[in-house]
Amino acid sequence: MRVVLAEDLVLLREGLARLLEARGHTVVAAVETGPDLLAALLRERPDVGVVDVRLPPSHTDEGLQAALAARREVPGLPVLVLSQHVEQLYARELLADGAGAVGYLLKDRVLNVDQFFDAVDRVAAGGTAMDPEVIAKLLARRGADEPLERLTPREREVLALMAEGRSNAAIGQRLYLSESAIGKHTASIFGKLGLAASDDDNRRVLAVLAYLDGARR
């Protein structure tokens, strides 16, 4: 897998590069600024970009904005964003184009190597990978008047795990339900959210976006 890596802290950048290369991936560019990231993503067209949100020169959301700009030029370019803190607006911005192949992971998760590479693989394969802590905070902020309240408690559990980027089989294992039962729940979720029949991967992204939209209100 070809990876573009963006991180302004030298030790973390080199550590991530070695970690990725130890798993057999090729880091085709390792950069430290937003402009360099945008140039590298457009030049290399990697299998996935692993991107810190805050990069020079602004140290605000330079990395995120560079990734979004690259995806406007190359729709569906896989990007996994790393952040120090939960910023649900960032998660929503990543999903806004409905194309998938995006992830939002807290930097602490990098310490869990398997979880980090699971997110990298899901994003590179065109799926989504939202940090469990982001999902937990969204759940905690839900109100009784939310549009998504039409979903049953079990459907909300399924949607929360869907937002993490898990497949029906993985959701079934987590909830001790059969894959066919999860399929029925997801079909019900799509129906209640008014998502017409289309490519299932796209509908999953749209369902997650609806979830994030509802949790913001």
User: Quick check: 144 pLDDT over 60?
Assistant: no
Partners of 6 in the beta sheet?
Answer: 31, 51
Q: pLDDT tens digits for 157-176?
A: 898 888 777 889 989 999 99
- Note the pLDDT of residue 199: 56
Cβ 79 vs Cβ 42: under 8 Å: no
- Evaluate the omega torsion of the peptide bond into residue 57 and state whether it is cis, within 30 degrees of 0: yes
Please tell me the class of the 141-216 domain: mainly alpha
Are 156 and 188 in contact by the 8 Å Cβ rule? The answer is no
Summary mean pLDDT of the chain: 84
Record the tokens describing residue 161, joined without a space: 């795990």
The DSSP secondary-structure symbol of 157 reads H
Fold held by 2-132 = Rossmann fold (3.40.50)
pTM over 0.75: no
Give the residue, 197 or 31, on which the prediction is more confident: 31
Sequence spans of domains, the chain: 2-132, 141-216
Contact 74, 104 (CB under 8 A): no
pLDDT in tens, 33-66: 999 999 999 999 999 999 999 999 988 899 999 9
